[in-house]
């Protein structure tokens, strides 16, 4: 099992501040495809910029209502923005499945109410003079005292240094479950008692607590973006046939092998890395089945039942010139860095169609183009 590095961020400018619409996770070795060609950006030969492709942003000037700016330049009221990352995807690319041992997941509702009327995944941030994003008292776990990690407070919409207050669901009051708020990339996993989720076994879920709508019910664990039953690593029979007991940030859970069990109708069994496979409804990119070039790795951006896979050049973040001109070195996986096309989050034409501008470095200071996960 692999663990994703700190998430990427899509932004929205609101007056002097910024509303971060969501944390876009670029997971470890894995891939997907919705178009047949390999998705590789070439800074020397940039794709056409006929339409803006920036992470959906909310601009506000004075009393102007917040609106969303899509990759097609279409504006719509911010109140129509689906509230959580759990409700970001609707359309699926049908693909034949060998069998359907699990019922097709129910679609998420079109919106989830939020007390302040903003998307549940939104964070209140500012951009400093250097272009780095400031979303609270910390950016990385290293900014916090020993034993604490940098996590999002969903009430204040700001990053705060937090310590764990639970290790398992039994440590929480009824109606709450113990959820991981950080991904442990720096060794710190912050677990807190959060409202019990709504998603049932086998349904897609958010990796990292965003809202009850995107989280699993009590007793279940979000493993590879799917709500899974808990298990015991020292008891092989604790999972049904066709499942293995795998570790996760919230404890061991039963992982369904789609190569053996198949996928629900409309989904396909996609290789994520050398050993992990997952049922996905929408896939873009051909790696890792089609190997990347020398010096490249297969990056994955995965969200719920969608995955985008693309080849990117490896780089060294401690070296200032390890990427070609026009690119920045960012997080390609939990353990490797890759090059991303540099972009300006304040410009809607920074990235090509099908790509969006997001933070790609752990300290939120570097901005690069990443594939959008929405059709």
How do 67-69 and 57-59 pair as beta strands?
antiparallel
Q: Is the bond preceding residue 288 a cis peptide, omega within 30 degrees?
A: yes
What is the pLDDT, as a whole number, of residue 116?
62
C-alpha distances (whole Å) from 84 to each of 91, 115, 216 are 16, 13, 14
pTM value is 0.60
pLDDT over threshold 60, residue 4: no
Sign of the CA dihedral with 222 first, then 223, 229, and 233 last: negative
Compute how many other C-beta atoms are within 10 angstroms of the C-beta atom of residue 45.
Answer: 6
Kindly report, residue by residue over 147-181, the tens digit of the pLDDT. Answer: 899 988 888 888 999 999 998 888 999 999 898 88
Q: 3-state class of 170 per DSSP?
A: helix
Helix and strand totals (H; E) in the chain: 1, 27
Reduced to 3 states, what is the DSSP secondary structure of residue 122? coil
Summarised one tens digit per residue, pLDDT across range 262-289 is 888 888 898 887 777 888 888 888 898 8
Least confident of 63-67, 199-203, 317-321: 63-67
Cα 252 from Cα 258, distance rounded (Å): 18
**Is residue 30 classed as helix, strand or coil in its secondary structure?**
coil
Of the two residues 62 and 324, the one the predictor is more confident about is 324
Q: What is the mean pLDDT of residues 95-119?
A: 46
Please tell me the least confidently modeled range out of 24-38, 300-314, 356-370: 24-38
Domain assignments of the chain as residue spans, ordered by start: 8-371
What share of the chain has pLDDT > 90, as a percent?
A: 17
Mean pLDDT of the chain: 70
């Amino acid at each position: 099992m692999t663990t994703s590095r700190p998430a990427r961020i899509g932004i929205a400018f609101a007056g002097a501040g910024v509303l971060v619409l969501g944390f876009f996770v670029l997971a470890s070795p894995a891939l997907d495809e919705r178009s047949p060609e390999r998705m590789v950006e070439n800074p020397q030969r940039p794709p056409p910029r006929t339409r803006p492709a920036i992470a959906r942003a909310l601009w506000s000037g004075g009393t102007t209502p917040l609106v969303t700016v899509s990759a097609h330049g279409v504006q719509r009221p911010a109140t129509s923005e689906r509230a959580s990352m759990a409700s970001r995807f609707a359309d699926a690319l049908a693909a034949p499945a060998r069998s359907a041992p699990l019922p097709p997941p129910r679609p998420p509702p079109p919106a989830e109410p939020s007390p302040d009327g903003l998307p549940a995944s939104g964070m209140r941030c500012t951009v400093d003079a250097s272009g780095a994003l400031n979303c609270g008292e910390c950016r990385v776990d290293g900014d916090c005292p020993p034993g604490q990690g940098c996590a999002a407070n969903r009430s204040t919409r700001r990053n705060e240094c937090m310590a764990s207050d639970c290790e398992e669901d039994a440590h929480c009051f009824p109606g709450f479950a113990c959820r991981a708020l950080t991904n442990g990339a720096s060794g710190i996993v912050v677990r807190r008692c959060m409202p019990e989720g709504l998603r049932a076994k086998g349904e897609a879920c958010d990796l990292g607590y965003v809202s009850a709508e995107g989280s699993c019910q009590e007793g279940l664990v979000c493993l590879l973006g799917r709500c899974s039953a808990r298990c015991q690593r020292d008891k092989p029979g604790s999972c049904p046939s066709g499942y293995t007991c795998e570790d996760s940030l919230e404890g061991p859970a039963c992982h369904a092998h789609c190569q053996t069990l198949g996928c629900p109708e409309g989904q396909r069994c996609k290789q994520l890395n050398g050993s992990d496979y997952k049922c996905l409804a929408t896939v873009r990119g051909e790696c890792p089945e089609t190997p990347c070039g020398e010096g490249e790795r297969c990056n994955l951006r995965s969200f719920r039942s969608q995955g985008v896979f693309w080849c990117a050049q490896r780089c060294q973040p401690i070296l200032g010139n390890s990427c070609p001109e026009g690119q920045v070195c960012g997080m390609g996986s939990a353990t490797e860095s890759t090059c991303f096309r540099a972009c300006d989050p304040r410009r809607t034409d920074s990235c090509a169609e099908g790509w969006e501008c997001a933070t790609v470095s752990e300290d939120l200071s570097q901005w690069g183009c990443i594939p959008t996960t929405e059709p």
